[in-house]
């Protein structure tokens, strides 16, 4: 009898998450100022979508559009333009957008971090020369941010979503706190969390699709899918296609 019960248990299929019927969702990992890679992955997404049967397409950008790479301003403008008037384009706020916006507001702690984690490249992308940047003090960095970052960019970044749920998937920038319902997650953690989420191995409320933590290849685990492949230094931006129970990963 025990052997029969064990065999039955083995035959119970694993839960396979599914996207909402009729939707085809493309999630894009951390871009970090690499407009060249963003344009290439968007062309791949267009080609992939055109080659499949008709479906309602959604684009989900997982945050960290800015810093480190050479053209943060161009990335923000491209995604802002894509999202303008299109409810099927979604963009989440990453920790780098948070720091960027807080720096523009003059938050001293955020400003110092901004200058350490790629803010130099971001400000240069908005028109400050490298030579002029080296002469700026922190007060002048804020002045340049206020002067050079267009209001439409600030408004767009301020409006970014924190969490997006579609079908059996939840999209966040960094992850979620295990054991806390998705509806009760702290926004600071969805942008910043690492070890408590990455070290977790049990099933979660939804399959989590996230960026934030760099890996050489997309990480496909039973409870999470990580697609930050370090675009700014690896030259590889990764996207994930989800439709019904199908998944497809491709990179630049």
Q: What is the pLDDT of residue 108?
A: 96
**How many whole angstroms separate alpha carbon 4 and alpha carbon 76?**
58
pLDDT one-digit tens code per residue, 143-173: 999 999 999 999 999 999 999 999 999 999 9
Query: Running DSSP on this structure, what letter comes out for residue 244?
Result: T
Of 160 and 188, more confident: 160
Residue 224 CB partners (closer than 8 Å, separation 6+): 175, 197, 204, 207, 208, 209, 210
Using the predicted structure, report yes or no on whether residue 10 has a pLDDT greater than 70. Answer: no
- How far is the first Cα of the chain from the last one, in angstroms, to the nearest whole number? 53
Domain parsing of the chain, residue ranges:
23-99+162-244
> Buried b / exposed e across 104-136, counting CB within 10 Å, b at 16+?
beeeeebbebbbebbbbbbbbbbebeeeebeeb
Cβ neighbours, 10 Å, residue 166: 18
- The Cβ-side half-sphere exposure at 223, using a 13 Å CA radius, reads 13
Average pLDDT over residues 26-30: 98
* Ordered DSSP codes for 38-49: HHHHHHHHHHHH
- pTM for this entry: 0.93
The pLDDT-based confidence of 8 (bands split at 50, 70, 90) is very low
**How many whole angstroms separate alpha carbon 107 and alpha carbon 85?**
32
Q: Would you state the structure tokens that stand for residue 33, as one six-digit string?
A: 């100022």
How large a percentage of the chain has pLDDT more than 90?
92
pLDDT one-digit tens code per residue, 105-147: 999 999 999 999 999 999 999 999 999 999 999 999 999 999 9
Average pLDDT over residues 219-223: 96
Q: Would you state the structure tokens that stand for residue 99, as one six-digit string?
A: 């720091």
Q: What is the pLDDT of residue 1?
A: 54
Q: What is the pLDDT of residue 187?
A: 87
Q: List alpha helices for the chain, DSSP H.
A: 2-11, 35-51, 72-83, 95-104, 108-116, 119-125, 130-134, 138-148, 151-158, 187-192, 195-198, 231-234
Q: Which residue has the tokens 């791949």?
A: 44
Helix, strand, or coil (residue 169): strand
Average pLDDT over residues 195-217: 96
Q: What is the pLDDT of residue 188?
A: 86
- 23-99+162-244: which CATH number, 1.10.3720.10, 3.30.360.10, 3.60.21.10, 3.40.50.2300? 3.60.21.10
- Give CA angle at 17 (87, 4), nearest 5°: 170
Average pLDDT over residues 14-23: 92
């Amino acid at each position: 009898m025990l052997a029969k019960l064990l065999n039955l248990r083995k035959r119970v299929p694993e839960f396979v998450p599914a996207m909402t019927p009729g939707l085809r969702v493309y999630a894009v990992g951390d871009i970090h100022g690499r407009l060249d890679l963003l344009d290439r992955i968007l062309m791949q997404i267009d080609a992939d979508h055109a080659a499949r049967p008709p479906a309602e397409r959604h684009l989900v950008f997982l945050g960290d559009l800015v810093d480190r790479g050479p053209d943060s301003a161009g990335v923000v403008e491209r995604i802002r333009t894509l999202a303008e008037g299109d409810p099927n384009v979604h963009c989440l706020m990453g920790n780098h957008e948070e720091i960027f916006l807080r720096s523009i507001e003059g938050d001293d702690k955020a400003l110092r971090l901004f200058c350490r984690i790629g803010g130099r490249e971001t400000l240069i992308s908005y028109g400050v020369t490298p030579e002029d940047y080296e002469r700026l003090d922190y007060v002048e960095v804020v002045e340049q941010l206020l002067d050079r970052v267009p209001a439409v960019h600030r408004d767009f970044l301020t409006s970014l979503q924190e969490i997006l749920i579609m079908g059996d998937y939840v999209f966040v920038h960094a992850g979620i706190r295990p054991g806390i319902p998705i509806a009760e997650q702290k926004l600071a953690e969805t942008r910043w969390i690492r070890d408590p989420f990455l070290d977790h191995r049990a099933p979660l409320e939804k399959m989590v699709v996230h960026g934030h933590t760099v890996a050489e290849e997309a990480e496909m685990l039973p409870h999470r899918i990580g697609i930050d492949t370090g675009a700014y230094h690896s030259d590889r931006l990764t996207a994930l296609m989800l439709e019904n129970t199908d998944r497809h990963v491709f990179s630049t």
